[in-house]
Chains A and B, each alone.
Chain A
Amino acid sequence: MNIGFLHKWKSQVKKGTLAFIALNVLKDNEYYGYELIEQVKKHTKIEIAEGTLYPLLNRLKKENLVTSKWVEQESGIPRKYYTLTPTGEETLLQMRTFWFDLEKSIKKISK
């Protein structure tokens, strides 16, 4: 086995699917950054450099897939909550379709 290649491939797949994962977690939910990361970790067991999620969220916001709002807290340190936009919802559905098709194909060829 080529461990080096496998490692690189895994990190590429992770990087490529992080947006898909984040959008899935945000579907029907409203989370602030830390919470979102905890959810991703809980559901996927994927080790991610947590800090990279913030630039990602920023990009999703620029693409109009998510919106955010600051909510004041008693502590004086506000939370920034993210939700999907209607565009985000629609895009996510298309992404899922693509993903499931891909999964089917891979299952078929990896028998």
Chain B
Amino acid sequence: MKPIKFTHTTAQKIYDDYISRIKRVTAPLNKTDREEILMELNSHIYEGMIDKTGENEIENLVNLIEKLGAPEEILKPLVAQKKLEQATKTFNPTHIFKALLLNISNGVVYVFFALLYLTLFGFVFLIIEKIKNPDNVGLFFKNGHFHLLGTRKPDTLQVLGLTEVLGDWFIPVMLPSIIVLYILITLLLRLKRKSKKI
């Protein structure tokens, strides 16, 4: 982006500040999207300044920027939407985390997705626990029915009537399940994004 040169240093400062605010808000996006948004708003300011008839450069710029609105407000929906697009395309957990954070105020459904991912994260935690305390972690059944996926002290199992069913297969079963669930949830999130209304 080619920066605009102002005559007054105050105007220059106001402009520089506005541009850096745009950069801050769009920071979660990829380089192409960031540059595109920046160039378009920069063009708006440039055309607006040429169009203004007033004598006072500072006043013109302040009016123009005020009408345009705060970058934090006008760009928030755009950034949230683009981030979600990127996250569901790349399957990158960091992107997904950031996208959900940006979209959490856009509907209960995103809270629901956050909970799904959190559950998955809990499964990862269980694998780590399984490695640390192999005897405590497992998939427990009671009278042939699912009872608990988690940790139980081995000496209480008999009292509670529980049996661990996976044994050494715990990690080999859990790991692929986590991966499959992760892909499924992310595909669902992509579907949700695409069905979003105008």
Binding site for B on A (CB under 8 A): 19, 32-35, 37-38, 49-52, 54-55, 58-59, 63, 70, 75-80
Q: Is the CB of A33 within 8 A of B43?
A: yes
CB distance from A42 to the nearest CB of B (A): 12
- The answer on a CB contact under 8 Å between B39 and A51 is no
Beyond A38-B51, A51-B69, A77-B43, 8 extra complex contacts between A and B, CB < 8 Å = A32-B43, A33-B43, A34-B47, A55-B75, A70-B39, A77-B42, A77-B46, A79-B47
B17: Cβ under 8 A from any A Cβ:
no
| Chain B residues within an 8 Å CB radius of A50 | 44, 67-69
Residues in B neighbouring A37, C-beta threshold 8 A: 44
Chain B interface residue number, banded: 20 to 34
**A54 contacts B37, CB within 8 Å?**
yes
Q: For chain A, what secondary structure do more than half of its interface residues adopt (helix, strand, loop), or is it mixed? A: helix
B78 at the interface (CB under 8 A from A): yes
Contacting A at CB under 8 A, from B68-89, are: 68-71, 73-75, 77-78, 81
Check B48 for interface membership: any CB of A closer than 8 A. yes
In whole angstroms, how far apart are the Cα atoms of A35 and B50 in the complex? 12
Of B43, B51, B74, the residue contacting A51 (CB under 8 A) is: B74
Interface 1/0s, chain B 100-126, versus A by CB < 8 A?
000000000000000000000000000
A78 touches B69 (CB 8 A): no
Q: How far is the CB of A67 from chain B (nearest CB, A)?
A: 14
The answer to whether B40 touches A55, judged by C-beta atoms less than 8 angstroms apart, is: no
Contacts of A80 in B (CB 8 A): 39-40, 43
Q: Are A34 and B43 in contact (CB under 8 A)?
A: yes
Interface residue? B41 (CB, 8 A): yes
